Amino acid sequence: DAILDDTHLDRLFAAIYDTTGQICMNAKRVFVHRSRRDELVAGLEARLNRAVLGYGLDEGTTMGPLHQPAQKAFVQEIIQEAKDAGADVREFGELPGGDLAGGNFVRPAIVVDPDPSLRVVTQEQFGPVIPIISFDTEEEAIALANDTWGGLCGSVWTASPEAAQRVGSQLVCGYVWVNDHGATRLDLRAPFGGMKQSGFGREQGIEGIRAFQDTRSIATIDPEALAAMAH
């Protein structure tokens, strides 16, 4: 029951491809009910067809380069791995030429229903490529979303506030958006941090303040408690 109008598709597109995908909080995998997959893919494709790769300060550029050659090589490698495995890989835009030829640019891509063992699914891409993975039941979607080493951020896209709470409360990650996603969407009043290999501890909110506090314990002898502890 996700709302897939232009407003929500723009939000999702930004969640994936902002800063050429180079944000830790960006979406790294998208799970969509099988009945809505083609609609979602078409919405992302419409936006990717307008992508203009180039120098980030040039007027008209919508997507800049990756930050270093090693990252470009990694992203190209996992895209090629998906192609070699027979996955449905769709690439968009044109690489810039002239003085920018050979720069750290990668054509943005989506990979539709790839094998879940491929690195484009299991690893953090940190580039302009996203796997679109179909599911059939809510339970399956939650299991797939949690089947990862990381747990920084997630999001639930639904027209139902009840579903948002039900699913969001089962995602093993530190921050969950509803019908939105991304670093620019953080509420600085709320604690932020990861689970699993995405780290521990929190910043922001009262939990972030407490991380800077020293807590002192002062203990006095309680004879009854001490006797109860005797071995």
pLDDT at 125: 98
Q: Could you tell me which of 105, 120, 19 has the C-alpha nearest to residue 69?
A: 105
Q: Match 């979602």 to its residue by tokens.
A: 40
pLDDT at 231: 64
Q: How many CA atoms lie within 13 A of 113 on its CB side?
A: 11
- Can you list the domains of the chain with their CATH numbers? 6-228 (3.40.309.10)
Residues (pLDDT < 50) of the chain are: none
